[in-house]
């Protein structure tokens, strides 16, 4: 149902060569997450790595530390695109984009593409490009990414899906990037934000936590690609008090740019608690005539590092398989059970599977 590597799709369907080296250009490769992805990929030893960004000096300096080379690439300056991407097999995007111009350029050149963005609007737009010579991997990293894979694992165990609940639990002792904090603050103070509040069980002794709905892209991509339209994502912090206070402010001052900026500044400076980074996914539906639910839990530490390690793992798994033209979310290309096993085996975090629970009538 979810394994699609053996299907031919488009003109680019062909096996990867076992002897050739892929040249991978990482846009934003010296940023907080991009640098960690580059370090992980460099450890493979079988990739030609190019670090790209607006500052050629920063790109070159960091590239030397990972055995690659640096180039200037400015998403707002099209004259930098062709020189930077000449001879490149894959572009791995670690920066948010405002339009499809660069992605369309890559597809026109037959260059393959992977993106760690969490913006559903942008991912939906990429889906609409339908490249015939290029392969695109989206929903890469933690959420989206691992949460998609966890949901696909649960969905494969049910005959019919009723709903997918995704929970994210973060510690306040972590050092989150400015862009990530700003992205979350934007959604918390969004006037149109879903006001849903749901209690959900987390594994590894975290117990049940109160989650507040946040508009992550995983819920939307799962609703488009799995047979359900009832998927949602909720967020909580390790501190119950801080969670209630932050989302309470988001509700009371919805649409206020001032309060959004103040809250983002506070989140950036908070340093108490642990660097916890956890995810839980529960999938409910029907199996053998009964209404049941199954769940899977992930527990790691340091969100930026976890995101980078997961993104590198998912990208590496795609590199090892055949090229399939078109746009694919991670859970559409990668076997969920094998990926969860690989996450634990690589030491990215712990994985636990909940029991199948029998539910009452909806």
Distance CA 73, CA 81 (A): 6
Helix ranges, 270-351 (H): 303-319, 330-333, 336-345
pLDDT of residue 321: 86
Every domain range in the chain assigned CATH 3.40.50.720 = 22-140+308-336
Distance CA 139, CA 126 (A): 11
pLDDT of residue 203: 85
Please give the structure tokens belonging to residue 96: 């948010």
pLDDT of residue 271: 67
pLDDT of residue 19: 45
pLDDT of residue 171: 87
CA neighbours closer than 13 Å in the CB half-sphere of residue 264: 19
Nearest partner of 228 among 284, 157, 275, 166, judged by Cα: 284
Per-residue pLDDT of the chain (362 residues; tens, 9 = 90+): 333 333 333 445 443 444 478 999 999 999 989 999 999 999 989 999 999 999 999 999 999 999 999 999 999 999 999 999 999 999 999 998 989 999 999 999 999 999 999 889 999 999 999 899 999 999 999 999 999 999 999 999 999 999 999 999 998 877 766 777 888 899 999 999 889 999 999 988 888 999 999 999 999 999 999 998 889 999 999 889 989 999 999 999 999 999 999 988 888 777 666 888 999 999 999 998 899 999 999 999 999 999 999 999 999 999 988 889 999 999 999 999 999 999 999 999 999 998 888 886 66
Q: What fold characterizes domain 144-304+342-358? A: Dihydrodipicolinate Reductase; domain 2 (3.30.360)
Q: Decide: helix, strand or coil at residue 173.
A: coil
pLDDT of residue 130: 86
Nearest partner of 149 among 160, 137, 159, judged by Cα: 137
pTM of the predicted protein model? 0.90
Every domain range in the chain assigned CATH 3.30.360.10 = 144-304+342-358
Where does 22-140+308-336 sit in CATH, by number? Answer: 3.40.50.720
pLDDT of residue 357: 85
Please give the structure tokens belonging to residue 118: 């969490």
How many separate helices (H) and strands (E) can be counted in the chain? 13, 15
């Amino acid at each position: 149902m979810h394994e699609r590597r053996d299907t031919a799709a488009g003109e680019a369907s062909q096996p990867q060569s076992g002897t050739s080296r892929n040249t991978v250009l990482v846009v934003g490769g010296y940023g907080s997450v991009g640098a960690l992805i580059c370090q992980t990929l460099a450890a493979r030893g079988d990739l030609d790595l190019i670090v790209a960004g607006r500052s050629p000096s920063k790109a070159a300096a960091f590239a030397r530390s990972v055995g690659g080379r640096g180039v200037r690439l400015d998403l707002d300056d099209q004259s930098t695109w062709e020189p930077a991407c000449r001879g490149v097999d894959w572009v791995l995007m670690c920066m948010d984009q405002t339009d499809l111009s660069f992605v369309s350029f890559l597809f026109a050149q037959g260059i393959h593409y992977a993106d760690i963005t969490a913006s559903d609007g942008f991912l939906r737009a990429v889906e609409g490009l339908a490249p015939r010579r290029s392969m695109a991997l989206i929903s890469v990293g933690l959420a989206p990414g691992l949460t998609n894979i966890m949901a696909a694992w649960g969905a494969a165990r049910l005959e019919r899906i009723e709903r997918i609940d995704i929970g994210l639990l973060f510690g306040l002792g972590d050092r989150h990037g400015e862009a990530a904090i700003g992205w979350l603050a934007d959604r918390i103070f969004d006037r149109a934000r879903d006001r849903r509040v749901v209690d959900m069980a987390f594994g590894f002794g975290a117990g049940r936590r109160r989650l507040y709905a946040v508009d992550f892209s995983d819920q939307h991509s799962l609703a488009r690609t799995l047979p359900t339209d009832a998927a949602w994502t909720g967020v909580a912090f390790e501190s119950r008090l801080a969670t209630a206070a932050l989302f309470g402010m988001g509700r009371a001052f919805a649409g206020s740019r001032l309060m959004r900026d103040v809250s983002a500044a506070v989140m950036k400076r908070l340093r108490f608690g642990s660097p916890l980074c956890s995810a839980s996914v529960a999938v409910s539906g029907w199996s053998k005539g009964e209404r049941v639910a199954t769940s899977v839990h992930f527990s790691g530490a340091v969100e930026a590092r976890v995101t980078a390690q997961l993104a590198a793992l998912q990208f590496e798994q795609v590199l090892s398989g055949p090229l399939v033209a078109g746009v694919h979310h991670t859970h559409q290309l990668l076997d969920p059970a094998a990926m969860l096993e690989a996450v634990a085996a690589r030491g990215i975090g712990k994985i636990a599977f909940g029991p199948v629970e029998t539910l009452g009538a909806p």
